[in-house]
RNA sequence: GGGCCGGUAGCUCAGUUUGGCAGAGCGUCUGGCUUUUAACCAGACGGUCGCGUGUUCAAAUCGCGCCCGGCCCGCCA
């Protein structure tokens, strides 16, 4: 088979290859290769630092293909490699603890990390002291992220695969055929010369990964290499080698990435792997060449996905432009996040917290289309029909979704009963709704409340119930407030109260805008707020009256 | 400089394979909800489909040339 474009979703398709959902296109290609069961879908990242939402591509894109294949009756294993034998090449400026809180490098033992530059992630102590190693720390967060979006991954440590011998045979193979390996890779990398050896041992003296192998001995019972611990280039800086000369087994080191990746394909039997566009023009061409012409295996079905941005900017933990799965799930339901990753992977997208309501609205629409509650054109309907069941745990028609911004409005009340009451009065909860549906619907209020807080947007108001905000009104305003209190005490409808606010202000010759401002001050300690009449009508009357009289 | 991917309404995006009326949601505006104060309802506005060019009865869609953005073409992953 000749070179294969990794842009699997961007190829021209025949009539019978078209699908509403991209994962079906990939699944077709996987099936057409008649793979052994279980079919293996792989992803992987290097646990080098904060695992942000962008890394979730690596989990979710594979997941949809895995699910589609399962639906078609296949047994599927979704493997995720933590490429944790990779060396730490530079100090991250920002880390995060297991709860996802960002932590500046200065707050941990930076010296300990600095001394470990060049060493495998799994050999570096966890700066937080909670896991077995640096690599383990971040792998744990990756696993937690997958769990949080309910994706069953089989997390495999690359270090473990070397140490337990799973990669030994293939490492031995590539060393045995290192002439061929050199020949193939030299077409992609200039530095590959006749001294190049596709194995980097770990220095037994200083623990760093070294690139200088001086001889290879595959004859003995345990194959080994001899090495000299030399300097390593890492970006613009150099990590010093210690000069030690020693011997390492094939379990005590790693293959360079260009060989390691295809080696993983072989050992794990990978049938499909999605990867970011950074791999599309470099790693993938060499990877498939190495797979076919060094290891003599067929590379997996590839799929390039576009990166997305956060608030229009690239993800960057050091710049603080980063968000973790755990953060996102405080703002919306897992199924909404899963929906985000069901969208076309070949389009670059922006994940905007600022406009998160749009994403949630989109999801709600998908759901409503699926249940035939609203009209949609053919394409959108076909997409909803196919994708919705894969996005939610279980399609249930009786479920209720409060519109996200409405949920944000309800978030201004801290009283759960009041929230439900208002949602019912506004017609968002039907009378015959089952209890679980009401509970689930109201759970969104907390999410939307967090969103309002986080973005400090126009919904970020909080009823100041416990104590009266500082205020300073003139006599006319105070009189007007007292009169309004009497009116409300007498009991009136929301729209009557709204009208009365105007009337009261006019009667006392108070500017209407200022009078509303006084109300917002008293209840929210803000200049602005929600539509005041209906709002006051919904909060318990006793409190409203007392607050208007500035008694508490 | 070369290769690849993307560019559709103010925003987020469908539609591009198979050429056939330019689409949705949000936002905006107007109106309604008996009264400028953000929840609800209705309607309207909104477009050089990145630009140019070719093919065609017909181009967002196909060809060619360009522009802009991103990725790769050292190393590493």
Chain A 409-428 residues whose Cβ is under 7 Å from strand B: 409, 422, 426
In this complex, the residue with its CA at the shortest distance from the C1' of nucleotide B33 is A495
Q: How far apart are CA A78 and CA A66, in angstroms?
A: 7
A3 C-beta less than 7 Å away from strand B: no
8-state DSSP, A292: I
Q: How far apart are CA A146 and CA A60, in angstroms?
A: 8
Q: How far apart are CA A252 and CA A239, in angstroms?
A: 19
Asked if CATH classification 3.20.20.70 holds for the domain at A475-549, the reply, yes or no, is no
Task: Record the pTM.
Answer: 0.91
A135 C-beta less than 7 Å away from strand B: no
CB-based contact A23:A308 (threshold 8 Å): no
Q: How far apart are CA A520 and CA A498, in angstroms?
A: 13
**Token pair of A245, please?**
């000369």
Chain A 482-501 residues whose Cβ is under 7 Å from strand B: 494-496, 498-500
Chain A 40-69 residues whose Cβ is under 7 Å from strand B: 46
Q: How far apart are CA A422 and CA A406, in angstroms?
A: 10
Per-residue confidence (pLDDT) for residue A538, from 0 to 100:
76
Per-residue confidence (pLDDT) for residue A1, from 0 to 100:
44
- The sign of the dihedral angle between the CA atoms of A337, A340, A345, A350 is negative
In this complex, the residue with its CA at the shortest distance from the C1' of nucleotide B69 is A348
Helix (H, G, I), strand (E, B) or coil at A254: strand
User: What does A293-315 look like in DSSP terms, one character per residue?
Assistant: III--PPPEEEEE--EEETTB--
Give the distance, in angstroms, between residue A347 CA and nucleotide B6 C1': 7
Domain A354-455 matches domain A475-549 at the CATH topology level = yes
Stretches where chain A sits below pLDDT 70 are 1-2, 15
Number of C-beta neighbours around residue A194 at 10 A: 8
A460 C-beta less than 7 Å away from strand B: no
Q: How far apart are CA A5 and CA A277, in angstroms?
A: 12
Give the distance, in angstroms, between residue A283 CA and nucleotide B77 C1': 9
Q: Where do the structural domains in chain A lie, given as residue ranges? A: 189-256, 354-455, 475-549
CB-based contact A96:A55 (threshold 8 Å): no
Per-residue confidence (pLDDT) for residue A542, from 0 to 100:
83
In this complex, the residue with its CA at the shortest distance from the C1' of nucleotide B37 is A531
Give the distance, in angstroms, between residue A350 CA and nucleotide B1 C1': 31
CB-based contact A178:A197 (threshold 8 Å): yes
Chain A 24-43 residues whose Cβ is under 7 Å from strand B: none
A367 C-beta less than 7 Å away from strand B: no
| Terminal-residue alpha carbon distance, chain A | 79
Angle of CA points A494, A460, A419, to nearest 5°: 45
Place of tokens 């030399």: A230
A389 C-beta less than 7 Å away from strand B: no
CATH of domain A354-455: 1.10.10.770
Q: How far apart are CA A61 and CA A74, in angstroms?
A: 18
Q: Tell whether omega for the bond before A276 is within 30 degrees of 0, i.e. cis.
A: no
Chain A 496-525 residues whose Cβ is under 7 Å from strand B: 496, 498-500, 502-503, 512-514, 516-517
- The sign of the dihedral angle between the CA atoms of A259, A261, A266, A267 is positive
Instruction: From A380, A321, A292, A421, select the one nearest A102 (Cα to Cα).
Output: A321
Q: How far apart are CA A548 and CA A541, in angstroms?
A: 11
A298 C-beta less than 7 Å away from strand B: no
A168's enclosing H/E stretch is helix A168-176
Number of C-beta neighbours around residue A490 at 10 A: 10
A362 C-beta less than 7 Å away from strand B: yes
Number of C-beta neighbours around residue A373 at 10 A: 11
Which nucleotide in the DNA or RNA is closest to residue A402, CA to C1'?
Answer: B39
Per-residue confidence (pLDDT) for residue A288, from 0 to 100:
94
Which nucleotide in the DNA or RNA is closest to residue A44, CA to C1'?
Answer: B77
Cβ neighbours of residue A236 under 8 Å, at least 6 residues apart? none
CB-based contact A129:A54 (threshold 8 Å): no
> Could you give phi then psi for residue A321, rounded to 5 degrees?
-90, 75
ipTM for this prediction: 0.87
Strand B, nucleotides < 7 Å from a protein CB: these are 2-7, 11-15, 17-18, 23-27, 33-40, 69-77
CB-based contact A442:A419 (threshold 8 Å): yes
Give the distance, in angstroms, between residue A358 CA and nucleotide B45 C1': 21
Give the distance, in angstroms, between residue A385 CA and nucleotide B47 C1': 30
């Amino acid at each position: 088979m000749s070179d294969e474009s990794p842009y699997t979703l961007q190829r021209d398709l025949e009539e019978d290859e078209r699908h509403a959902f991209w994962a079906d296109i990939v699944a077709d290609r996987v099936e057409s290769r008649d793979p052994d069961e279980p079919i293996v879908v792989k992803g992987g990242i290097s646990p080098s630092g904060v695992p942000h939402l962008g890394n979730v591509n690596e989990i979710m894109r594979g997941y949809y293909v895995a699910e589609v294949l399962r639906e078609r009756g296949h047994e599927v294993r979704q493997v995720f490699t933590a490429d944790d034998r990779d060396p730490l090449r530079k100090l991250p400026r920002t880390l995060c603890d297991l709860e996802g809180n960002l932590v500046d490098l200065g707050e941990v033992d930076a010296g300990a990390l600095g001394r470990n530059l060049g060493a495998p992630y799994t050999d570096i102590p966890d700066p937080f002291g909670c896991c077995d190693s640096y690599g383990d720390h971040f792998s744990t967060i990756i696993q937690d992220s997958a769990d949080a979006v309910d994706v069953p991954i089989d997390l495999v440590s690359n270090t473990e695969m070397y140490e337990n011998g799973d990669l030994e045979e293939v490492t031995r193979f590539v060393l045995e055929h290192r002439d061929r390996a050199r020949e193939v890779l030299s077409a992609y990398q200039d530095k590959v010369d006749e001294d190049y050896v596709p194995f980097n041992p770990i220095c037994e003296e200083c623990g760093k990964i070294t690139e200088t192998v001086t001889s290879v001995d595959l004859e003995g019972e345990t194959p080994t290499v001899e090495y000299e611990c030399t300097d390593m280039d890492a970006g613009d800086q150099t990590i010093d080698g210690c000069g030690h000369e020693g011997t390492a087994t094939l379990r005590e080191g790693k293959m360079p990435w260009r060989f390691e990746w295809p080696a993983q394909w072989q050992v794990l039997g990978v049938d499909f792997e999605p990867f970011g566009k950074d791999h599309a023009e470099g790693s993938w061409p060499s990877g498939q060449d190495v797979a076919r012409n060094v290891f003599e295996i067929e590379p997996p079905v590839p799929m390039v996905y576009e990166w997305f941005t956060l608030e229009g900017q690239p993800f960057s933990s050091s710049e603080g432009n980063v968000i973790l799965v755990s953060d996102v799930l405080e703002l919306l339901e897992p199924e909404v996040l899963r929906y985000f990753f069901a969208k076309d992977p070949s389009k670059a997208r922006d994940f905007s917290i600022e406009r998160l309501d749009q994403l949630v609205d989109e999801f709600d629409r998908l759901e409503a289309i699926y249940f035939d509650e609203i009209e949609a054109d053919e394409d959108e309907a076909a997409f909803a029909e196919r994708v919705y069941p894969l996005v939610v745990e279980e399609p249930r028609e009786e479920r209720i979704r409060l519109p996200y911004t409405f949920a944000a409005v309800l978030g201004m009340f801290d009283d759960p009963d009041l929230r439900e009451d208002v949602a019912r009065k506004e017609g968002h909860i039907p009378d015959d709704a089952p209890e679980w549906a009401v509970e689930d619907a109201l759970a969104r209020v907390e999410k939307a409340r967090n969103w309002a807080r986080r973005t400090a947007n126009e919904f970020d108001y909080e009823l100041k119930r416990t104590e009266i905000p500082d205020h300073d009104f003139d006599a006319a305003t105070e009189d007007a407030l007292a009169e309004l209190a009497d009116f409300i005490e007498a009991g009136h409808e929301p729209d009557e109260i709204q009208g009365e606010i105007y009337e009261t202000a006019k009667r006392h010759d108070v500017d209407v805008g200022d009078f509303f401002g006084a109300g917002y001050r008293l209840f929210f300690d803000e200049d602005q707020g929600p539509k005041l009449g209906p709002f006051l009508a919904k909060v318990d009357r006793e409190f409203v009256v007392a607050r208007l009289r500035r008694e508490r």
